[in-house]
Every structure is written in C-alpha cells, then in structure tokens.
Amino acid sequence: MSKLNAPLKAFIEFFEIDEDIVSAAKAVSPVQETPALDHETLIAQLPEKERNEWLLRLANGEPRLELAFRKRLQQ
C-alpha cells in the first residue's frame, strides 16, 4: 500500500476513509515488489496460433483482455 493506485484512491475517497487510517495501513503494509516481466520475450515464446488468438480477441474488443493476457504471460 505504499503507493496507492487510482482505483484504491477512488475507493478511499468514495467511502470517505479517514487519512489517519490509510496512513496506519500504509505503515504496516509489507512492501511488495513484483518482478518486471520481459513482455517481448514472453510474447515471442507463445505459440503462433495462441498469439493470433489473442490478437483476434483484441480486435474483437473483448473487455478486460489485458488482465487475462498479463495473467497468461505470468504463467
């Protein structure tokens, strides 16, 4: 929680959560570092058929596709 993203900030503002509570939560939250993924390499490792399927889904405007794609790359 050391760095609040936009959705979390909106949540805090919408529910009018006290800043002292947010500060306390930040203070006890562990720092989570996510390793940077080399997207170019990971995409190149996908089979051509699967890459084409992802592109087709993108072209068709599938909602939330980026989340599914990132999850797939992390596998």
11-64 pLDDT, tens per residue?
A: 999 999 999 999 888 888 877 666 677 889 999 999 999 999 999 999 999 999
Instruction: Please tell me the distance from the alpha carbon of residue 15 to that of residue 22, in angstroms, as a whole number.
Output: 12
* Structure tokens, 68: 């599914």
Other CB atoms within 10 Å distance of the CB of residue 46: 15
Q: Give the pTM.
A: 0.52
Using H for helix, E for strand and C for coil, what is the string for 4-46?
Answer: CCHHHHHHHHHCCCCHHHHHHHHHHCCCCCCCCCCHHHHHHHC
The domain spans of the chain are 1-33, 39-74
